[in-house]
Structure 1
């Protein structure tokens, strides 16, 4: 029997958008696991379906850990304008949803000191989104 991580990793490369959405939601819980990082980044930057991007970003923002938000920041730095819009929508959904999330802006502030320049740049953008969601 496959573990939750194994099943989500398998789903991340599925041709089915709905399987990739499930994988993004499932893998978000493993954002701290290095094995999940690249598949999650791939789901955040999914070129076939914006639902995958949006749902994975929302799930990671809800997790709210440094590792989860670092992945979102990396994706923002690599995303084209269209992908960035859906990443922003996913983060926004997490921030204004019924359960809200921890202070994303605080974690992004910590990521502003990340050694990776792309992460710093992406975190600055996510921080602006988080500030806008509070209004």
Structure 2
């Protein structure tokens, strides 16, 4: 089954509070995760919440990486969406687990833009 993209939804647990609560560190790790996966980084924006937490997105030519952290829980919700064949979203996820010093990750991959479904929709329009 051919698809336009792969979207990994990752639940990352047991991370270090200091890392997940540091805007610059989270930004650096997310950008480097995109690069580690072979993506081309276009733009990124991150926001620090009070009293804690960081959210951000890295826009890549192949789609995006997004994160929201709960440092007080050692938890991060992460999306890695890549299109095409040249970028592996799992490479980015594994890099993030290592750099956030996570205890474990659970993740699900969703195929996006399944070609069979797109072709049927085009005929029905």
TM-score by length of 1: 0.30
Q: Give 1 or 2: higher helix fraction.
A: 1
Higher relative contact order (CA 8 A, sep 6+): 2
Q: Which has the higher strand share?
A: 2
